[in-house]
Amino acid sequence: MLTDPLFWLVAIPAVLITGISKSGFAGGVGGLTVPLLALAISPATAAAVMLPLLIYMDFLSVRSWWGQHNSRHLWILLPAAIVGIFIAYLLFDRLNEEYLRAILGCVSLGFGLYGLILGDKTQASPSPLVGRLCGLTAGFTSFVAHAGGPPLNAYLLPLRLAKAEFLATAVVFFAVVNLVKLVPYSLLGQINQENILVSLLLVPLAWLGVKLGLFIQDKINDRLFKRIILILMVLVGVRLLWTAL
């Protein structure tokens, strides 16, 4: 990786995009990162390189949004997400990445189009059961490809939370999920010296991406923000489906 120009060509924009996503802005767009890096390296290595960076970005983001999150919804989402991580760990050697991306792409594309076409008025608040299913899916897909944004958004967006509460809840959710993922990633041997070195070299870009995302949020009102999230979910869905095909 260190001497591969193609890797750095895709890694630089990928880490910037992830930093913007990890600031709380456009959470689903972070799901593009591992597929983008997989153009140059294996998806498993891409996920391993990104995990330390995600944890660093989580630290920066949680500092900015702590205290504004919704604890009730986190208690619904996080236990299920941990179960999803455990399931993905058990199935790691048998996962069909193209099939998983196709399913996730359909979910992201379908929900994004639903929200854009029908609008907030027709979106009923999801039940705790739906929240647990979304949390389970987010934990599973986050383990495989750091792509838990669409399932999480599928639960949080219809709740019509204020922008700050929505962002803070998403940020805290992924901070916990990524810390939990450290254990199975280490057990699978995905955290090694070369991957950590590459992650360290990319840290300045991660910092820049988070700061850029925080800056963008101050310029966007709640209604426009949610519309951008839905549009990005459509784009993420199309990208994941294209990758799967």
The CA distance from 245 to 243, in Å, is 5
Nearest to 88 by CA among 132, 49, 142: 142
User: Band of the pLDDT at 211, cuts 50, 70, 90?
Assistant: confident
The CA distance from 242 to 36, in Å, is 12
Q: What is the pLDDT of residues 40-73, one digit of tens each?
A: 777 778 888 889 998 988 888 888 788 889 999 9
Residue 196's identity, in one-letter code, is: I
Per-residue pLDDT, 156: 87
In the 8-state DSSP scheme, what is residue 94? Answer: G
pLDDT beyond 90 at 25: no
Nearest to 30 by CA among 88, 117, 108: 108
Per-residue pLDDT, 87: 94
Least confident window among 57-61, 87-91, 239-243: 239-243
Given 3-state DSSP classes, what are the helix, strand and coil percentages for the chain, each rounded to the nearest 5?
80, 0, 20
Nearest to 145 by CA among 196, 191, 101: 101
The CA distance from 159 to 130, in Å, is 12
The CA distance from 40 to 37, in Å, is 6
- Give the pLDDT mean for 3-27: 76
Per-residue pLDDT, 122: 46
Report residue 86 as tokens: 């455990």
pLDDT beyond 80 at 124: no
Q: How many CB atoms lie within 10 A of CB 206?
A: 23
The CA distance from 65 to 87, in Å, is 30
Report residue 9 as tokens: 């060509």
Q: What is the pTM of this model?
A: 0.79
CB 61 within 8 A of CB 24: yes
User: Band of the pLDDT at 82, cuts 50, 70, 90?
Assistant: very high
The CA distance from 233 to 108, in Å, is 5
Residue 114's identity, in one-letter code, is: Y
Report residue 234 as tokens: 């459509």
CB 127 within 8 A of CB 36: no
Least confident window among 64-78, 130-144, 213-227, 229-243: 213-227
